[in-house]
Chain A
């Protein structure tokens, strides 16, 4: 039996406390009013810096625009007036020596001209007033927009981290179900590790569900389609409201999470019961349950990705998005399984795990990393190539404002693992697998960051106290829950029919 070392427990608790402090700080420092935003933007423009510049660009442009119209307007109107007047005078003088009728006509014409100039002047004045007013309103509108983004920032940070860690355990659960349904001979010695990782699904799903409920209660604006005022003016969202409405959204979330947790609890119960069984009935039950779960999972996972991730951009849609999200958290789940296996192995708890098991996990990390890249590129390239405005905005926004995270994650999730994990010998070295695992996990966190943040905080993003705090909190909670679950049962599934094969697995 594994015992949760007090040192690791302390680390987990410290991470959670630090995380709560970071999250609390980011909520506390989020601006409350438009005036706060104005101050922040002003401070940003003084400090400069690439990101601050980008953020400040818009209001600065407004200001400049307003100022130039005011300056150029007066002389231009004045000049127009002068020419008209001069023309009228000249016309009167030349006409004077000729017929009276002509004189009168000319005078009338000149007068008319003058009148037009006057009118033009008045128009220009009115236009100027309106424009200045518009600029002001636009600036105010911009400030409110930025206020919304900055108030969303701490919520989004928590949401991204909560979703990421919950999906890691869901990815590990999907992997576990596949191993069961495929009757894999190599992996049963790792089943208890996978069950441990998937134990985080219960608290993780509850937290994500609470964040979704908070959205339906208008506590945050991560899901813009939940905002009545926005929907009232948005025909595209109105057309989707049959699907994107609060009640149906929560019902779906409850069904999905309930289904996943149900399978996880049922499979765990059977797996433990199989240890003391006299026949293989529990194994067979798990086999059937796993096959059924995989069907349920792939449907719900796809819908989950539309609901919880794609709907933050309710105007945008992509058909392979579900697969893309799946690949992202599936590889993260496998990576976490490999890292926890290596940790437990290093403490001497996993007697039968050898380098061949690690090699297999590393191969999965490698292969699914490439699979993720394939989907990432397919989604990007199809949209980039056709360049349809309604689709391309998604990537335009990310490339302009999230350039480093957007392309950096491709390096972290593809280039690095491909170069480091392509070597057979490297896949057997613990430190290589752990190092590659850390880079892959960071890369996929950034992947989820890139999926959520551009829609919720826009160009106001930053990986600061709130984001890091949220990661630390959920990391601490994850470690605490997973390692507590690992202490609950022996780390070797005893009577699994494939356990002997797995013990002697050799690649």
Chain B
């Protein structure tokens, strides 16, 4: 079965936003939108679900806090509770102020780095990955909307030509 998509190109983000809203209202499924820069409100207009990366980050932060606490409790209190300059190493809480800088930094370290790695994995980004750019102009000054073709192709093309597009192309994918 042929898998056709329409590539609609715009040269202005406001026109793109209007086009996205019209397309959604006409119940055409938007596969993807390629933009050279973040377009504020585009995710809402497309009806994308909100990201949960902040929740991940919070949980990673808790992991970092736990790692720091467990590590220093074992090293400084359980394993070898030495008297270092009179610091009270009888229990974790007694010497806690000295551990807080490490606990804080480890929390931030885990929250930040694991979140970034999560982002790379979820966005499928890594070195030597081949770019998925359908049109080089989308990294410079053009906006591209990709819509799957169902039903009448000509009717779809004329619909998108009326949304202020500078170019409409029908592409055979794969």
Contact = CB atoms under 8 A, between A and B. Distances in A.
Nearest to B87: A385
B98 A385 contact: yes
A155 B26 CA distance: 73
Interface string B96-124: 01101000000000000000000000000
A381 B100 CA distance: 9
B17 to A, nearest CB: 15
B58 A422 contact: yes
Contact of A384 (B54, B58, B97): B97
B134 interface: no
A387 interface: yes
A389 to B, nearest CB: 13
B100 A377 contact: yes
B86 interface: yes
B97 A380 contact: yes
A424 B58 CA distance: 13
A387 B100 contact: no
Contact of A381 (B54, B58, B86, B97): B97
Nearest to B101: A381
Interface in B59-87: 86
A381 B103 CA distance: 14
Interface residues of A, number: 8
B7 to A, nearest CB: 32
B164 to A, nearest CB: 24
Contacts of B54: 424
A377 B97 CA distance: 8
Nearest to A377: B100
Interface string A474-493: 00000000000000000000
A379 to B, nearest CB: 11
A426 to B, nearest CB: 12
Contacts of A422: 58
B58 A385 contact: no
Contacts of B98: 381, 385
A422 B86 CA distance: 38
A354 to B, nearest CB: 16
B64 to A, nearest CB: 15
A384 B98 CA distance: 9
Contacts of B86: 387
Interface string A370-386: 00000001001100110
A3 B11 CA distance: 52
Contacts of A387: 86
A95 B98 CA distance: 72
A112 B120 CA distance: 97
A387 B86 CA distance: 10
A422 B98 CA distance: 26
Contacts of B58: 422
A387 to B, nearest CB: 7
Nearest to B54: A424
B58 to A, nearest CB: 7
Nearest to A419: B58
Nearest to B50: A424
A323 B72 CA distance: 31
Contacts of B100: 377, 381
Nearest to B98: A385
Contacts of B97: 377, 380-381, 384-385
A85 to B, nearest CB: 51
Contacts of A381: 97-98, 100
A415 to B, nearest CB: 13
Nearest to A380: B97
A387 B100 CA distance: 17
A380 B96 CA distance: 12
Interface in A378-429: 380-381, 384-385, 387, 422, 424
A406 to B, nearest CB: 13
A74 B54 CA distance: 77
B68 to A, nearest CB: 16
Nearest to A382: B97
Nearest to B61: A422
B73 to A, nearest CB: 18
A381 B54 CA distance: 30
Contacts of A384: 97
A387 B87 CA distance: 10
A133 B58 CA distance: 64
Nearest to A424: B54
A381 B101 CA distance: 10
A385 B88 CA distance: 11
12 contacts: A377-B97, A377-B100, A380-B97, A381-B97, A381-B98, A381-B100, A384-B97, A385-B97, A385-B98, A387-B86, A422-B58, A424-B54
Interface of B: 54, 58, 86, 97-98, 100
In order of increasing CB-CB distance, the 8 nearest A-B pairs are A381-B97, A384-B97, A385-B98, A377-B100, A385-B97, A381-B100, A380-B97, A422-B58
Given A381-B97, A387-B86, 10 more contacts: A377-B97, A377-B100, A380-B97, A381-B98, A381-B100, A384-B97, A385-B97, A385-B98, A422-B58, A424-B54
